[in-house]
Structure formats: structure tokens, C-alpha cells
Amino acid sequence: MIIERNMERTDLPLVVIPACFPSMVPYLERSLDEIAAKARVRMHTDMTLDLDEILNRLAGADVAMTTGIHFTNDILDRLVPTLRCITFGGTGIANFVDIDHAHDLGLMLCNAVHYGDNAVAEHTIALLFEITHKAGRLDVRTRAEGWPGSDITEIGGLTMGLIGFGGIGHRVAELAHGLGMNLTVWARHPDDETLQQLGARRASSIDDVFATADVVSPHLALNDATRGIITASHLDLLRPGSIFLNTARAELVAPGALEQRLRKGDIFAGLDVFSPEPLPADAPLRDCPNTVLTPHVAWRSGKALAGIVQQNVRSVIAFLDGGSYNVV
């Protein structure tokens, strides 16, 4: 379905939402009148990732409001000079757009920040619970087998090792602390006062985290400095029975390093992010029994979706007014 506002006003700039997740539709639809006070608006309510279709839908657009669309440099080249601004429904826009190339083309890029800190942190802990307490898997087995036996692992007393201590990492630390976990944190710019309040130990290095923690969870933005920052050598430091969680970005881990470590069969992983996405049908991770996999949904709570839309709309309005908001 296509929803439009002001399309007869060809004197106004055109804002296009070329695709969106179904759960985002009501939040976006409620925002259209606000944008329509300054522009024409066309919203496509389905979620397509076909780049030819995206290109057709964005023809003539001045602003693109996007979520989950990977823009190739060729697509950007073909959309400019009409397209002047892209808003992205998330923080990690570098995973979807070549930022340097977009800036070379004169495009303004805007993202959304801290909208899903709590949602992602809760999902991180949910993955940890599923690995240690197996509630979902035991539900499936109980229905199919009648009364399967299984041991569980208590979380209290385990050490949670965090790599990165921004909004999400901080919230994970709070939740883990509340569960009685010990905390070890490595960050480039640690908040020592907060670490002290949570009783967290400041790690000397990433190696330190992997060598001492029972559970390791990275919470870093993806950029040139962090891509592949977790290496096979780091993962080899994990002790048998350790758990690796990733709700940040798969590209923080060197390609193939996690799969290689998981093949040893002595650690567990809870993953919500992959490279590429969607996870291919023949991806080795699908056949790893010591994993819990979810399809990049940690950010998709109602509160988080509302926050994304609110910030993206604010970015669009600022751009149309000649200003800026959340510019990358």
C-alpha cells in the first residue's frame, strides 16, 4: 500500500519512505502530517530489500527515510543530485551506507541514537537466559517428548565481561548487576564513577575480558576502528563453558573467527546479528547446536520503534528547515 500527502504540490520537496517494517507503519503513518506541513510525502508500507525497486520508489526524492536498506554506491550515484538527505532508522548507518562516498556526493546522513538501549540490553540478557536456563528449547521438547530432563546453569555469581560501555553496555551492566553477576568492563573512555557504583572491575584490555569472564558481550558501534576488533585469538581465550553474546554488530568479529571457535563445541553463543543479513540458509551457524540465534530483533520493541520514528522525523524537519539533527 502507498500512503501519500500533498502530492499535487510539486513546488514542495519530496520525502519518500521506500519500505518499512510492518510494525513501524503505525508510528510512521502518525508522523506524516507533521512532515506534510513542509513537503510532499510518499510512504510505501511494505518491506522490500530489492534495490531496483528501492531505486524506482526513490526516483525524484529529496529525502529518503529508510530502515534496513543497504545502499550500494551505484544506487547513491543514481539517486543524486535529486536526493539530498537520508535518514536511517538505527544507529549503525555505516553498515548500510558508505558514509565517505555519501558525503562526497553531498548527502546529509542522519541516524537515531539511544532509542533502543533498554530493548537491546534486555534481549542480550534474554539470550543469556535461554542458553543457561533453556526455557524455549525445553518448552519445545516438553511438548514433543513429554518430560525431558535437563540441567540448567545459574547466572548469579558468573562474571559478565563487557566490551564497550555506551548506552547499551551500561544498561546491560545494570541488568547483570541486578542478577547478581560480577562485572568486568573494557572501554576506551570508561566512566570510572559508574563502574564503581556497579562494583565493576576495569579490564586492562580486550584480552583481559575474554580470559577472565564467563560471559562476554560486545557493545561497540561499527566503524573503521572497531571492524574485526574481536579476533580468533580473543575467542581462543574463552574457557570451556563460556558464553559469547552479540547484539551489536556481527562485523565486530573477524570473519569466520566465531564459527571456527564454535566448532570446538566447548562454548556457547547467543547471536542477534549476522553478516550478511538475512542469515543465508547454508550459513554454518545454523548447524551449530551450541548457539541461540534470533533474526536481528533486539531493537524492535514498541518504545524503540516510536523513538526511531520520532528522531527521524525530527531530522527530516530540521533538514527541510535548513538545519540539522542527528547528522552522522
- Would you say residue 92 has pLDDT above 90? no
Fold (CATH) for 2-115+302-320 = Rossmann fold (3.40.50)
Take residue 46 and report the three cell numbers written for it.
Answer: 511494505
Q: What pLDDT does residue 328 have?
A: 94
User: For residues 36 and 14, what is the distance between their CA atoms, to the nearest angstrom?
Assistant: 9
Q: What pLDDT does residue 81 have?
A: 87
Q: For residue range 101-138, list pLDDT tens digits in order.
A: 999 999 999 999 999 999 999 999 999 999 999 999 99
**Residue 322 — left, alpha, or beta (φ > 0 → left; ψ -120 to 50 → alpha)?**
left
DSSP labels for 130-195? HHHH-HHHHHHHHHHHSS--------TTPEEEEE--SHHHHHHHHHHHHTT-EEEEE-SS--HHHH
Q: What secondary structure letter does DSSP report for 280? A: P
Band of pLDDT at residue 223, cut at 50, 70 and 90: confident
Name the average pLDDT for the chain.
96
Per-domain residue ranges of the chain: 2-115+302-320, 117-293
Q: What pLDDT does residue 125 have?
A: 98
- Would you say residue 58 has pLDDT above 90? yes
User: For residues 58 and 17, what is the distance between their CA atoms, to the nearest angstrom?
Assistant: 8
Average pLDDT, stretch 1-22?
Answer: 95
How many CB atoms are closer than 10 A to CB 33? 11
- Cell numbers 564513577 correspond to what residue? 193
- Would you say residue 68 has pLDDT above 90? no
Q: What pLDDT does residue 190 have?
A: 82
Band of pLDDT at residue 31, cut at 50, 70 and 90: very high
Q: What pLDDT does residue 189 have?
A: 87
Pairing between β-strand 215-218 and β-strand 201-202 as defined by DSSP bridges: unpaired
Distance of CA 269 to the CA centre of its chain: 17
DSSP labels for 31-73? HHHHHHTTSEEEEE-S----HHHHHHHTTT-SEEEESS----H
Strands of the sheet with 215-218, listed across from one edge: 201-202, 182-186, 159-163, 215-218, 243-246, 268-271, 291-293
Helical H segments across 72-116, by residue range: 73-79, 99-104
- Would you say residue 62 has pLDDT above 90? yes
Q: For residue range 224-269, list pLDDT tens digits in order.
A: 899 999 999 999 999 999 999 999 999 999 999 999 999 999 999 9
- Would you say residue 94 has pLDDT above 90? no
**What is the CATH superfamily name and number for domain 117-293?**
NAD(P)-binding Rossmann-like Domain (3.40.50.720)
Pairing between β-strand 215-218 and β-strand 159-163 as defined by DSSP bridges: parallel
pTM of the model: 0.89
Sign of CA dihedral 163, 166, 170, 176: negative
Q: What secondary structure letter does DSSP report for 238? A: P
Q: Identify the residue with better confidence: 221 or 206.
A: 206
- Which own/partner contact pairs does 280-288 have at CB distance under 8 Å and 24+ positions apart? 284/259, 285/258, 285/259, 288/259, 288/262, 288/263
Q: For residue range 184-205, list pLDDT tens digits in order.
A: 999 998 888 999 999 999 999 9
Q: Which amino acid is at 314?
A: R
Q: What share of the chain has pLDDT > 90, as a percent?
A: 92
- Would you say residue 170 has pLDDT above 90? yes
Q: For residue range 262-302, list pLDDT tens digits in order.
A: 999 999 999 999 999 899 999 999 999 999 999 999 999 99
Query: Is 273 exposed, middle or buried (CB count within 10 Å of its CB: 0-12, 13-18, 19+)?
Result: buried
Residues 224, 229, 94: CA angle, nearest 5 degrees: 35
